[in-house]
């Protein structure tokens, strides 16, 4: 079965506050200024070269256009002009991290921590970076400082849950996530994480936790999918099947649901339907080896050796060390 549970912690951390906030500047910019393009902002910079927010705004446009070196240049210029805007540091640290420059990201956050040592938002962001870099002792130190300032900080408990989970203390992780939602019942990500951990434990509470998250966002397809996967973990295949069908109807481009409904069809010996769904899955994610492997198994059951061999060959080409796929290919070649 294919699921997104294992990726959720990393994704929720890697997206750590990569939002571009409104900001003020040390130099006044007319309120009716057109900031919709780099050309317009360039004109304003010519008139107001020390307006830090203009470089920040231009960095946002450069980011959206994929001009990463220009993002770095503009954000560093904005920080040089006004070192007291934490969002400048956050955006720069995020961009470095997204582009596999963790050392530079860490250096930026160290500067931010030096300038805003008691700011909880800065501390939380630094803890998230610690977790991404698997610096768990540093994350714990940072969280302890936050709890001294704000003992009821829901996001800090959420991150404490991540720290415990990643270091193998699942019970403490559950307690921390539970504390986060006790403090803030609208904390969707914490409900999702509770659902994920309970799903791994094959605990029926996972369904309730996912429902709480979906109450807050009924269009969250990944949470719907994780709920369906939890049903599979609980051996409730009928419930899983119906939810996967609903996902396939509402979100026709969400590949994991087609893959997992293919698994259920295969388990029910509805081989033709399984092949149909694995084929859709392959069309959406042609570099995913597991879909070829599963479709190959279905072809093998139908005694279609040519088709099975082609799929097993593709699976092993994509993942040369996958033992089951190699064994399947050897088997079909006999």
CATH value at residue 245? 1.25.40.10
Confidence of residue 27 (pLDDT cuts 50, 70, 90): low
Distance CA 310, CA 169 (A): 43
Distance of alpha carbon 283 from its chain centroid, rounded? 23
Q: pLDDT at position 18, please?
A: 52
What pLDDT does residue 6 have? 46
Confidence of residue 22 (pLDDT cuts 50, 70, 90): very low
Per-residue pLDDT of 82-120, as tens digits, reads 999 999 999 999 999 999 999 999 999 999 999 999 999
**Residues 241, 306 within the same domain:** no
Is 163 inside any structural domain?
Answer: no
- Whether the pLDDT of residue 23 is over 90: the answer is no
Do residues 230 and 195 lie in contact, with contact meaning Cβ atoms separated by under 8 Å?
A: yes
Is the alpha carbon torsion for 114, 83, 119, 71 positive or negative? negative
Last residue of a domain, one of 214, 235, 251: 251
* Residue in the block written with tokens 């969400």: 254
Question: Is pLDDT above 80 for 183?
Answer: yes
The total number of structural domains that make up the chain: 2
Q: What is the rounded distance in angstroms from the CA atom of residue 235 to the CA atom of residue 47?
A: 67
Q: How far apart are CA 188 and CA 95, in angstroms?
A: 25
262 vs 16, residue with greater confidence: 262
Residue 29: the pLDDT is: 58
Q: Is residue 106 within 8 Å of residue 125, measured between CB atoms?
A: no
The tens digit of pLDDT for each residue in 281-315 reads 999 999 999 999 999 999 999 999 999 999 999 99
Rounded-to-integer distance, Cα 112 and Cα 57, Å: 20
> What proportion of the chain, given as a percentage, has pLDDT over 90?
88
- 236 & 194 share domain: yes
Residue-wise pLDDT for 57-79, tens only, equals: 999 999 999 999 999 999 999 99
**Quick one: which of 202, 300, 301 has its CA closest to 1?**
202
Which residue, 251, 276, 292, sits at the end of a domain?
251
Mean pLDDT, rounded, for 154-168: 97
CA 287 to CA 292: how far, in whole Å?
Answer: 9
Residues 245 and 259 in one domain: no
Q: Is residue 308 part of a domain?
A: yes
For range 221-245, the mean pLDDT: 96
Domain residue limits at 259 = 255-334
User: What are 73-78's contacts with CB under 8 Å, separation 24+?
Assistant: 77/52, 78/52, 78/53
CA–CA distance, 334 with 329 (Å, rounded to integer): 9
Residues in the chain: 334
How many Cβ atoms from other residues are within 10 Å of residue 301's Cβ?
Answer: 14
Assigned domain for 57 exists: no
Is the Cα torsion angle 106, 108, 114, 117 positive or negative in sign?
negative
pLDDT in tens, 114-145: 999 999 999 999 999 999 999 999 999 999 99
Q: How do residues 206-226 score in pLDDT, each as one tens digit?
A: 999 999 999 999 999 999 999
Least confident of 23-37, 104-118, 156-170, 277-291: 23-37
Pair (244, 261) in one structural domain: no
CA torsion angle for 279, 283, 289, 290 (degrees, to 10)?
-40
Least confident of 25-34, 181-190, 302-311: 25-34
Write the CA distances from 29 to 42, 45, 51, 76, 285, integer angstroms.
13, 10, 8, 20, 47
The residue among 251, 267, 299 that closes a domain is 251
281 inside domain? yes
Query: 37 falls in which pLDDT band (50, 70, 90)?
Result: confident
144 within some domain: no
Is 319 contained in some domain? yes
Shared-domain flag, residues 214 and 286: no
What is the reported pLDDT for 334? 82
Q: For residue 126, which of 150, 174, 94 has the smallest C-alpha distance?
A: 94
Two structure tokens written together for 227 = 């709920």
Sign of the dihedral through C-alpha 315, 318, 323, 327: positive
pLDDT above 80 (res 8): no
Angle at Cα 299 formed by Cα 294 and Cα 302, nearest 5°?
135
Q: Is residue 182 part of a domain?
A: no
Helix axes 289-301 and 305-318, enclosed angle (nearest 10): 160
Same domain, 282 and 302: yes
Same domain, residue pair 217 and 265 = no
pLDDT score for 35: 73
> Residue 160 domain-assigned?
no
């Amino acid at each position: 079965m294919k699921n997104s549970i294992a990726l959720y912690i990393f994704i929720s951390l890697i997206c750590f506050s990569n939002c571009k906030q409104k900001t003020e500047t040390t130099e006044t910019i007319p309120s009716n200024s057109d900031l919709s393009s780099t050309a317009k902002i360039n004109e304003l910079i010519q008139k107001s070269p020390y307006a830090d927010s203009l470089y920040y705004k231009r960095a946002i446009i450069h980011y959206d256009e994929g001009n990463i070196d220009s993002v770095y240049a503009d954000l560093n210029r904005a920080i040089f002009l006004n070192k007291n805007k934490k969002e400048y540091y956050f955006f720069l640290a995020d961009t470095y991290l997204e582009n596999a420059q963790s050392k530079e990201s860490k250096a930026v956050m160290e500067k931010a921590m030096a300038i805003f040592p008691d700011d909880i938002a800065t501390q939380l962001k630094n803890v998230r970076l610690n977790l991404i870099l698997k610096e768990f002792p540093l994350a714990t130190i940072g969280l302890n400082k936050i709890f001294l300032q704000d003992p009821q900080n829901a996001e800090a408990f959420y991150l404490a849950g991540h720290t415990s989970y990643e270091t193998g203390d699942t019970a403490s992780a559950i307690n921390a996530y539970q504390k986060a939602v006790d403090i803030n019942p609208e904390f969707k990500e914490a409900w999702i994480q509770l659902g994920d951990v309970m799903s791994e434990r094959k605990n029926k509470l996972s369904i309730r936790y996912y429902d709480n998250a979906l109450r807050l966002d009924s269009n969250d397809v990944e949470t719907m999918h994780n709920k369906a996967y939890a049903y599979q973990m609980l051996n409730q295949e009928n419930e899983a099947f119906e939810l996967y069908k609903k996902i396939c109807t509402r979100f026709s481009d969400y590949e994991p649901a087609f893959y997992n409904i293919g698994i259920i069809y295969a388990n029910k010996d509805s081989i033709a339907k399984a092949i149909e769904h694995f084929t859709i899955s392959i069309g959406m994610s042609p570099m995913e080896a597991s879909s070829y492997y599963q479709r190959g198994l279905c072809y093998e059951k139908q005694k279609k050796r040519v088709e099975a061999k082609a799929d097993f060959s593709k699976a092993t080409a994509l993942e040369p060390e996958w033992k089951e796929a190699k064994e399947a290919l050897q088997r079909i070649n006999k």
